[in-house]
Amino acid sequence: TGGITAEEAKKSSYLNIVGMVGSIDNDFCGTDMTIGTDSALHRIIEIVDAITTTAQSHQRTFVLEVMGRHCGYLALITALACGADWVFIPESPPEDDWEDHLCRRLTE
């Protein structure tokens, strides 16, 4: 009837259960990398490669937002891998005059 009887539970009292974290945010303590993070990073880099061609041919600047909630891992690693000029991450909020710094960087 969908329930586990006491006898069945006793037979399987040795059963070990392991939980695996699946999150692209990579924000789970005690792990090097959560399942899904590497796949998300790979896909983001593919997208940046496609956007870069358009940005260069049309001399445009693009702003890319990635998932991550309160964890800037994907944004930071993408910025490093793709050579971004600027990156915002929640762990290190920008200074008050970030707009001026960004405009100066774009005119260099």
Catalytic amino acids?
25
Query: Angle formed by the axes of helices 37-57 and 73-82, to 10°?
Result: 50
**φ, ψ for residue 38, nearest 5 deg:** -65, -40
**φ, ψ for residue 101, nearest 5 deg:** -60, -40
